[in-house]
Amino acid sequence: MQHFVLISVLGVDRDYEDAPVFKAKRAVEQYLVTSGLNYTIFRPSGLASNLLPLAESFQRTGLYLLIGDRKSRTSIVSPDDLAKMVIDCVNIAAAENQIFPVGGPDILMREDIPLILGRIFNREPIIINPPLLILDGLRSALGLFNPEEQQNLGTFCTLLANEFFCTPEEITNLESIFNFKLERLENFLSRHLAV
């Protein structure tokens, strides 16, 4: 094997105690970095494709469920852009033995996402915004009956409770090394929803 490419997750190095997926990915990263193999690690903040089912639901109902802090920041990357970087990195010397935070070109607040959907579908969003505390309570109650599911929800709660975004400098670095402009979330959603 000449080059190992790993897709991890942004924030994996923050030592979230209640997020088993983050812990596992961090352990794999640490092993890879010390393995002696040539590697490139990508840490995406979130994939735009994960929003497609929410966008389709929004298109039908106009409703958007936003759990937790509306002002929490994110930078969502197109999976097409991530795939291009994964493919190209093995032929780019500047990507060898590097760890890249990966996000979209815009730092968005979570409340911006339903507004983007509203523009795409030309309708005013109805945002349902329960506090994260409700999910935490449900998770605790679930733990009484199913500890494994309670643990699995830890990663989900971690994602909702924290900010995951790339700085403008990190995005500029990616675009320079990989020699293309990253796609904005609104463009990705419009393209994939055939609007």
Instruction: Please tell me the number of Cα atoms within 13 Å of 185 on its side-chain side.
Output: 27
pLDDT of residue 195: 66
Whole-number percent of the chain with pLDDT over 90: 74
Written as one letter, the residue type at 54 is L
pLDDT over 90 at 51, yes or no? yes
pLDDT over 90 at 48, yes or no? yes
- Cα–Cα distance measured from residue 46 to residue 75, given in angstroms and rounded to the nearest whole number: 7
Strand 126-128 with 108-109, pairing? unpaired
Least confident of 56-60, 123-127, 132-136, 188-192: 132-136
HEC string of the chain equals: CCCEEEECCCCHHHCCCCCHHHHHHHHHHHHHHHCCCCEEEEEECCEHHHHHHHHHHHHHHCEEECCCCCCCEECCECHHHHHHHHHHHHHCHHHCCEEEEECCCCCEECCHHHHHHHHHHCCCCEEECCCHHHHHHHHHHHHHHCHHHHHHHHHHHHHHHCCECCCHHHHHHHHHHHCCCCCCHHHHHHHHCCC
Q: Which two tokens stand for residue 177?
A: 């090394």
pLDDT over 90 at 162, yes or no? no
- Cα–Cα distance measured from residue 17 to residue 11, given in angstroms and rounded to the nearest whole number: 12
Q: Does CATH number 3.40.50.720 belong to domain 4-192?
A: yes
Q: Give the model confidence (pLDDT) of 97-136 as tens digits.
A: 999 999 999 999 999 999 999 999 999 999 999 888 887 7
pLDDT of residue 33: 96
pLDDT category at 54 given cuts 50, 70, 90 is very high
What is the pLDDT of the chain when averaged over all its residues? Answer: 92
Mean pLDDT in residue range 131-159: 78
pLDDT over 80 at 184, yes or no? yes
Q: Give the model confidence (pLDDT) of 76-87 as tens digits.
A: 999 999 999 999
pLDDT of residue 149: 76
Task: Measure Cα distances from 80 to 72, 89, 104 in Å.
Answer: 24, 14, 11
- Cα–Cα distance measured from residue 44 to residue 42, given in angstroms and rounded to the nearest whole number: 6
Mean pLDDT in residue range 139-146: 78
pLDDT over 80 at 194, yes or no? no
- Cα–Cα distance measured from residue 58 to residue 49, given in angstroms and rounded to the nearest whole number: 15
Q: Which two tokens stand for residue 127?
A: 């945002």
